[in-house]
Structure 1
Amino acid sequence: MSTDGHADQPRLHADELPIDTGLVRRLVSRAFPDLAVLDLRPVAGSGSSNALFHLGDDLVVRLPRQPGGGVGIVKESRWLPVVAGAVEVAVPEIVGVGEPDLGYPERWSIARWLPGDVATPAKTGSVPLGVDLARFLAALRTVAVPEGTVSAELSSYRALPLVDLNPDFRELVEECGPLDVGIDLHEALRVWELATDACSTTAEPVFLHGDLVAENLLVRDGRLTGVLDLGGLAVGDPTVDLVVAWEVLDEAGRAALRRELDVDDATWTTSRGWALLIALMTFAYYGETMPRRCADRLVMARAALAG
């Protein structure tokens, strides 16, 4: 499948699909021949779900790294225009969706490149960003939920009540036990139990991002300008989206977000559990392959433990 003879993207998964510049160039040439003349080069620091390639100066090609990842591509092509109409910050605009071809088994997309700096865990002065994030979440929750039972397309374990994931969290604690993850796992279990005791099992289903973390946020001058990667968009309990407060905001910023969204005590406590769950998942799975992501999640976990 490769024409360049080597992969441009680091291998992150046991079932990683082989992707390199040669393959992407051929896929673009066959599906979008008018764009084939544009320069193509890998994006430094691509994420774990999709391999990313610059296409010219204004476009990005996104190819799922794993079998089944095309579901997120199709979801984004369906729902991103709807989300874009509801929120004030930029979200990706899909230019086109490519079909499986040339031995590559998944759908893939071309989107417009969004300018901005990727957010980093905050240390000071994040009140404006906290307000911006709260307003994004409030706007996202106004998107009309489809009538009837939520489809498989909009289902996710991250939209479930936190208590449903109790066995998973305890398994992650066991996995992280032999690792030097940088947090007190006994304290993590204590905070987890507080979070699951507080969580609601009857939250009104609304739209949620599902992966609202630093690497999916674009900022400029301390303000939110864009939100990336809505492949995890789902309908259900939106508490998971509050993990952003524990990763990218300082104490004042968290207070601003909580005040703007009017988050009650129980939901806030539950969000601490979500932050710990996502951090431990990261440590266990990406401990050797994505040190930057693990460092960011360590900030998240320590903030959540401190409360």
Structure 2
Amino acid sequence: MSEPMHDDELTIDEDLVRSLLGRDLAAYADLPLRPLTSTGSTNRLFRLGEDRLVRLPRQPNGSAAITQEARWLPGLAAELPVSTPEVLTVGEPGFGYPERWSVVRWIDGEKPRPGGGDVTAADLAEVVTGLRRTEVPPEALADPELRWYRGKPIAAFDNDFRSWLQQCRELTDLDLDLDAVASIWKEAMALPLVLPEPRWLHGDLLAENLLSRDGSLVAVLDFGALSVGDPTVDLICAWELLDGDGREEFRTILGLDDDTWLRARAWALFIAVMTFPYYWKTMPVRCADRLVMARAVVGG
């Protein structure tokens, strides 16, 4: 079993997955099953056979994300220019495990390298555009499970940011100009409050949730953070995945003004500084990716 990342981490192992599959999906129960070492912080991942993936929430109350992904992703998938996980089934709690879980179709590809080169500005802009142009039905607007914090204006998180930033200052081996980070944040907080029309947002559009092949983006993964609200947070991918020229192209394609761009930079810094204290010891690869992103923001 992998090392826990959270204080309330649920116990998940191959025996549990086999038991759940045997109860709910007998046809899959004898397929080869192996845990993935590249599993994320939200779900434990197990490859099932050659073309399926089992996803189990790591923490209590993770069922909502599994359920909303199954409910809303099929409609969104048709509007996106890349592949998304096809939810084959949602399983029920059991054998001492309290959450719903899912089986999705496996998608071949590699996590793109942060810093530029594995995906293009046009690829990322098309994904952002696809999300934003997709109609948000009234029932989605009314669904409280789709109102995650990343769909709120960045100004709502000033106090949280300052708390995380102070914790970052206590990480003696964090090689980042935190004074410059604080200055950019202060500039963003001085912007007028804007409440854009609620749109769909992925909420975690970063390298670990993308797949590339041969220099092109081929898939967006993990829609567990799918939300309706201010979609600015989805722009942070530009600083983790593109170089300076790529970011300028991305901005031009989307027609982003100075204020929106600054708010997006602030979101990228917020996501980075909240990551470092929490995952510094348990997810060094994630922290390295966020450091690439934060340095790109500081560098302009």
Q: TM-score range by the shorter chain?
A: over 0.9
- Matched to 1:286, the amino acid is Y
Structure 2 gap ranges (5+): none
Partner of 2:218, secondary structure, is: strand
Deviation at 1:281, TM superposition (A): 0.8
Aligned to 1:167: 159
Q: Is the Cα–Cα contact under 8 Å of residues 99 and 108 in structure 1 kept in the other structure? A: yes
Aligned to 1:93: 86
- State the identity %: 49
Partner of 1:97, secondary structure, is: strand
Deviation at 1:147, TM superposition (A): 2.0
Cα distance in 2, alignment partners of residues 217 and 49 from structure 1: 15
Structure 1 gap ranges (5+): 1-6
Cα distance in 2, alignment partners of residues 74 and 249 from structure 1: 32
Number of equivalent positions: 298
Partner of 2:61, secondary structure, is: coil
Aligned to 1:292: 285
Please show how residues 39-54 of structure 1 align to structure 2 within 5 Å.
39-54=32-47
User: Structure 1 residues 64-73 or 250-259, which shifts more?
Assistant: 250-259
Aligned to 2:138: 147
Q: TM-score by structure 1 length?
A: 0.94
Please show how residues 48-127 of structure 1 align to structure 2 within 5 Å.
48-123=41-116, 125=117
Aligned to 1:176: 168
Cα distance in 2, alignment partners of residues 232 and 121 from structure 1: 21
Q: Is the Cα–Cα contact under 8 Å of residues 163 and 199 in structure 1 kept in the other structure? A: no
Question: Are 1:268 and 2:261 counterparts?
Answer: yes
Q: TM-score by structure 2 length?
A: 0.96
Cα distance in 2, alignment partners of residues 44 and 147 from structure 1: 39
> Aligned to 1:192, which of 182, 185, 199?
185
Change (3 A) 1:144 1:250: same
Partner of 1:204, secondary structure, is: coil
Please show how residues 197-216 of structure 1 align to structure 2 within 5 Å.
197-198=190-191, 200-216=193-209
> Aligned to 2:121, which of 130, 133, 138?
130
Offset from partner CA, 1:85-105 (integer Å, 9 cap, x none): 111100000010000111100
Offset from partner CA, 1:260-300 (integer Å, 9 cap, x none): 11111111111111111100111010000000000000000
Offset from partner CA, 1:24-59 (integer Å, 9 cap, x none): 011111010011110111012100000000000000
Q: Is the Cα–Cα contact under 8 Å of residues 113 and 241 in structure 2 kept in the other structure? A: yes
Offset from partner CA, 1:207-261 (integer Å, 9 cap, x none): 0000001100111111110000100000111110111000010011111111111
Aligned to 1:4: none
Cα distance in 2, alignment partners of residues 47 and 104 from structure 1: 19
Partner of 1:111, secondary structure, is: strand
Q: Is the Cα–Cα contact under 8 Å of residues 115 and 292 in structure 2 kept in the other structure? A: no
Please show how residues 179-258 of structure 1 align to structure 2 within 5 Å.
179-180=171-172, 181-198=174-191, 200-258=193-251
- Matched to 2:151, the amino acid is A
Cα distance in 1, alignment partners of residues 192 and 270 from structure 2: 14
Deviation at 1:200, TM superposition (A): 4.2
Aligned to 1:3: none
Deviation at 1:145, TM superposition (A): 1.3
Deviation at 1:144, TM superposition (A): 1.4
Question: Are 1:281 and 2:243 counterparts?
Answer: no
Cα distance in 2, alignment partners of residues 11 and 94 from structure 1: 26
Deviation at 1:189, TM superposition (A): 1.0
Cα distance in 2, alignment partners of residues 209 and 259 from structure 1: 21
Cα distance in 1, alignment partners of residues 193 and 233 from structure 2: 12
